[in-house]
Structure 1
Amino acid sequence: MSSYMAVLRLPFAARTFAAALVGRLSYGTVFLSLTLALTSATGSVGRTGAVVAVFALVIAGLAPLRARLIDRHGARRVLIPLSLAYSGSLLGLAAATWRPGTPLWVLEGAAVAAGATAPPLGPTMRTLWRAMCGRDRALMQRAFSLDTVAEEVIGVSGPLLVGLLVLVVDPALGLVLSAGLVAVGTVAMMASPVVGTAAAGRPRGSAEQQEPQEPQERREQPAPAPRAGLFRRRGLRTDRTASQRPLARILEPVVAATGVGLGLGAQNLVIVAFAVQRHQTSAIAWAEAGMSVGSIVGGLVYGAVTWSAPARTRLPLLTAALGLCVAATGLAPNVWALTTATTVTGLFMSPLMACAYLVADELAAEDARTAAGAWVNNAFNAGSSGGYAAMGTALARLPLGWCFAVAAAPMLVAAGVARAWQPRVKEAAPAPEAGVDVAEAVPVAVQ
């Protein structure tokens, strides 16, 4: 635990992280709040599902774009307007669901507005962690592990908070709570001094982060060729080829996150079938609780250990281990064995995501780190939805035990792809520009 205290003792780390968690708690409360408010207002599960699906799809579809805006224009300029617009959209949804009779198109329009403006607080916080940790990769691993565990806790506590809230007030007030959390948390997070000194997400030549002046001899060199200038305007290095664009650079963690999302999404539906087949629906809650507990414990242990193998080596190993655990879950004969199996599976969940974020940070270009984290997060979420949807066909044709093996297959394939891609990325990585140490581009400590 002392290793995590070292993370929180970094200048301004505790206050920045606390503010970010307040804002991110909104994502733990908003989906259940929206579902309950819509069900109460429309009286239709079908309409509720349509609006929630629109909300989730727009959030996922535009997440990389919002993160890229932060990389180009800075966190304060982007996140504060986004958070205020998002809060206003949630308040509009709360007003629309307060009384029955609101047309479906109005609800969907408000959901689109909210999804389009949802601020990427998680990717931004990980970018700030990098700025605070500087070149200390071990410290950054602990910071990312702590961050991932906190996300897991939010995923569990958010719905519980909403469940308690709706016992005494209208479900629409859950949307009001979500709006307040994200507005207060984002503004407090952006008030932290570390935001103004973080190199990632700061456009070159801005007032807050000026590049060092080049020697006169270098400034008088001829201008680069037009093609190089085009790439530099896009925020890419001048020596990149088409195959070295930002998404290609972070293919390893994106593929791993996609495979894990597919597998865990599929496993969730198989667990539901397992519980229904045995007439023990409580097994669903026990299995999910076991997964969460395992993930929290695994993340805390993983972050506290100093690993000799680099993160890029650990990533495919963690992905394969998670896949093997999911496959082994198919051997569970009863609810208690199932819960034990999901708890063991959870031990690898937070470590894998923390490692994926760390690898994405290592491989991404200096001015695309927030977007890299958003791509990893989005890949997991999209994979989870796709795996849940696709598993229905397998459940209809295969024995239940084999369905767990099917759920594990995307993870094992992703582990192989991530491992096979490593030499290609290593060879393609551009050399640092003359006279510039890339690792020094981020300040080691905040003044």
Structure 2
Amino acid sequence: MSGTATAYLRLWRHRWVPSLLLVGVCARVPLQAYVFAVLLLAAERTGSYPAAGVVTAASGVAYAVGVPVHGRLVDRFGQTWPLTVAACVNAVAFTGLLVTAQVNPTAAALAGWAAVVGLSLPPVAAAARALWSQVIADDAVRRTALAVDAMVLDVALVAGPLLVTVVSVAVGPAWALGGCAAVLLGGTLWFSTLPPSRSWTPARRGGSLAGPLRSPGVVVLLAVSVLTGALLGVLRLGFVEFAGERSGQASGGLALAAFGAGSLLGGLLYGARPWRADAAMRMRVILTGYACGVGLLTLAPTVSVLVALCVPAGLFLAPFVICNFELIGRCAPEGTLTEAFAWGITATFTGSALGNLVAGALAGSPSAVVFGAAAGFAVLAAVVVTVGTAALQPSEKGS
């Protein structure tokens, strides 16, 4: 049996792994899909790409503000009631956004409700990552679990935009957004009722209000996540505009799905083999490759070529995410793991919002400029990791 198969079979034999992965897909597909659905809905209702970028950015910034608060509540009170309350409030917020899109589709009104949606999104991803340390004791198997967790995000990145594209073309982006809201509510409630989630107890934490932010390594990783999030934000709006100028906005989801497929392949290969190099060294190499892969997108003349180039461009996304998970687990102070993962999501969504604004400002520019800007963010991320390598070593973990 190959090393790849052995690593994943060892993981799959753990009792709760299949259920956690399945519910993880159900809860996270809408988290990836809703951003694209909001973007399409705002572009349709306002008729403006810059306005759509502002609406999407409002949701991302609000999520960035809210998710660490949710994460701290989980670290203090457990997973069940914080996730349940957030999911119910979020369903109401989605309803408000959909109604507003029909009766008052101004950029300001849509951005306001999009912000409420982002602020109330339940921290399912952070909770799931924190759960692996309880479900799996073996470090090597847990590393494979983090790889699979990253690939769940890739499945979401592929399936989410594809489903949004299909539903938007068939019946409109409002229906796609409503579907995201319903699946997110159901998936989160399902996750919160699983025995490992209900029984999860956080480690005892110190009294610092800074939480995981008192670790220099966590701060470095957050800066890197902002930059890689900005890369994805630029690409998301850049794909829609590129496709809109050639074959229709919704086909931008095909490029995003191809990018996710490349990431899924990269994560599958990366997570199956042991690595001797330190995670910080691996991250530098991965980010350099990421910059080169995204740089290829500047060569695309048509949507079909863009979709093809998105596969190699996305190869480095999941390996970066896996390295990031590993380093956050290394650097996060005791008792702050969920909040540390939540801050990582905050940084990514903050960067995504920044990227949306950058792409909106570049609307009308040649696509090579837009995709070149995305590659530039990966270069900056590699520089940050290089400068902050010392903070990412095991000895730097906060107490």
TM-score range, shorter chain: 0.7 to 0.9
* Superposition TM-score, scaled by structure 2 size: 0.80
Q: Following TM superposition, by how much is the alpha carbon of 1:280 offset from its aligned partner in structure 2, in angstroms?
A: 7.4
Residue 123 in 1 paired to residue 91 in 2? no
Q: Following TM superposition, by how much is the alpha carbon of 1:159 offset from its aligned partner in structure 2, in angstroms?
A: 3.5
Task: List aligned pairs for 1:317-332, cutoff 5 A.
Answer: 317-330=285-298
Report the equivalent of 2:270. Answer: 302
- In structure 2, how many angstroms separate the alpha carbons of the residues matched to 1:104 and 1:331? 33
Report the equivalent of 2:117. Answer: 114
Q: Following TM superposition, by how much is the alpha carbon of 1:296 offset from its aligned partner in structure 2, in angstroms?
A: 1.2
Report the equivalent of 1:417. Answer: 384
| AA matched with 1:298 | G
Task: List aligned pairs for 1:323-362, cutoff 5 A.
Answer: 323-330=291-298, 339-362=307-330
| Partner-residue secondary structure (3-state), 2:274 | coil
| AA matched with 2:103 | P
Report the equivalent of 2:190. Answer: 188
Q: Deviations over 1:48-85 (max 9, x none)?
A: 76655433321222222221221222211311111111
Q: Work out whether residues 58 and 116 of structure 1, in 8 Å CA contact, stay in contact via their aligned partners in 2.
A: yes
- In structure 2, how many angstroms separate the alpha carbons of the residues matched to 1:334 and 1:189? 41
Q: Work out whether residues 261 and 384 of structure 1, in 8 Å CA contact, stay in contact via their aligned partners in 2.
A: yes
Sort the Cα spacing of 1:66 and 1:340 in 2 relative to 1 into closer, same or farther, 3 A. same
Sort the Cα spacing of 1:405 and 1:67 in 2 relative to 1 into closer, same or farther, 3 A. same
- In structure 2, how many angstroms separate the alpha carbons of the residues matched to 1:408 and 1:163? 25
Query: What is the aligned-residue RMSD (CA, Å)?
Result: 3.9
Range moving further from structure 2, 255-264 or 67-76:
255-264
Q: Work out whether residues 246 and 368 of structure 1, in 8 Å CA contact, stay in contact via their aligned partners in 2.
A: no
Q: Following TM superposition, by how much is the alpha carbon of 1:359 offset from its aligned partner in structure 2, in angstroms?
A: 1.0
| Partner-residue secondary structure (3-state), 1:233 | coil
- In structure 2, how many angstroms separate the alpha carbons of the residues matched to 1:293 and 1:20? 18
Q: Following TM superposition, by how much is the alpha carbon of 1:300 offset from its aligned partner in structure 2, in angstroms?
A: 0.9
- In structure 1, how many angstroms separate the alpha carbons of the residues matched to 2:31 and 2:159? 11
Residue 65 in 1 paired to residue 33 in 2? no
Q: Following TM superposition, by how much is the alpha carbon of 1:11 offset from its aligned partner in structure 2, in angstroms?
A: 2.3
Sort the Cα spacing of 1:288 and 1:426 in 2 relative to 1 into closer, same or farther, 3 A. closer
- In structure 2, how many angstroms separate the alpha carbons of the residues matched to 1:172 and 1:270? 21
Residue 89 in 1 paired to residue 121 in 2? no
- In structure 2, how many angstroms separate the alpha carbons of the residues matched to 1:101 and 1:423? 52
Residue 12 in 1 paired to residue 16 in 2? yes
| Partner-residue secondary structure (3-state), 1:305 | coil
Q: Deviations over 1:133-163 (max 9, x none)?
A: 22x3322222122222222222232243344
Residue 375 in 1 paired to residue 379 in 2? no
Q: Following TM superposition, by how much is the alpha carbon of 1:318 offset from its aligned partner in structure 2, in angstroms?
A: 0.8
Q: Work out whether residues 263 and 410 of structure 1, in 8 Å CA contact, stay in contact via their aligned partners in 2.
A: yes
Report the equivalent of 2:160. Answer: 158
Query: Percent identity over the alignment?
Result: 24
Q: Which has the higher helix share?
A: 2
Report the equivalent of 1:26. Answer: 30
- In structure 1, how many angstroms separate the alpha carbons of the residues matched to 2:319 and 2:12? 19
Q: Work out whether residues 247 and 372 of structure 1, in 8 Å CA contact, stay in contact via their aligned partners in 2.
A: no
- In structure 2, how many angstroms separate the alpha carbons of the residues matched to 1:89 and 1:285? 24
| AA matched with 1:74 | G
Sort the Cα spacing of 1:357 and 1:393 in 2 relative to 1 into closer, same or farther, 3 A. same
Task: List aligned pairs for 1:382-397, cutoff 5 A.
Answer: 382-390=350-358
- In structure 2, how many angstroms separate the alpha carbons of the residues matched to 1:271 and 1:105? 24
Report the equivalent of 1:140. Answer: 142
Sort the Cα spacing of 1:137 and 1:87 in 2 relative to 1 into closer, same or farther, 3 A. same
Sort the Cα spacing of 1:284 and 1:374 in 2 relative to 1 into closer, same or farther, 3 A. same
Q: Following TM superposition, by how much is the alpha carbon of 1:105 offset from its aligned partner in structure 2, in angstroms?
A: 7.6
- In structure 2, how many angstroms separate the alpha carbons of the residues matched to 1:170 and 1:323? 34
- In structure 1, how many angstroms separate the alpha carbons of the residues matched to 2:69 and 2:78? 13
The structure having more radius of gyration, on CA atoms, is 1
- In structure 2, how many angstroms separate the alpha carbons of the residues matched to 1:138 and 1:407? 33
Sort the Cα spacing of 1:392 and 1:154 in 2 relative to 1 into closer, same or farther, 3 A. closer
| AA matched with 2:224 | A
Q: Deviations over 1:270-297 (max 9, x none)?
A: 76787799x6779966644442221111
Q: Deviations over 1:344-377 (max 9, x none)?
A: 2211111111211121111111211112222223
**Unpaired runs of at least 5, structure 2:** none
Residue 3 in 1 paired to residue 3 in 2? no
Q: Work out whether residues 267 and 326 of structure 1, in 8 Å CA contact, stay in contact via their aligned partners in 2.
A: no
Q: Following TM superposition, by how much is the alpha carbon of 1:184 offset from its aligned partner in structure 2, in angstroms?
A: 2.1
Q: Deviations over 1:395-429 (max 9, x none)?
A: 999x8767755543332332232133222454863
- In structure 1, how many angstroms separate the alpha carbons of the residues matched to 2:67 and 2:20? 22
Sort the Cα spacing of 1:288 and 1:54 in 2 relative to 1 into closer, same or farther, 3 A. closer
Q: Following TM superposition, by how much is the alpha carbon of 1:299 offset from its aligned partner in structure 2, in angstroms?
A: 0.9
Q: Deviations over 1:107-135 (max 9, x none)?
A: 6654443322110111111111222222x
Range moving further from structure 2, 29-38 or 68-77:
29-38
| AA matched with 1:16 | L
- In structure 2, how many angstroms separate the alpha carbons of the residues matched to 1:333 and 1:112? 35
Of the candidates 221, 224, 233, which is equivalent to residue 207 of structure 2?
233
| AA matched with 2:131 | L
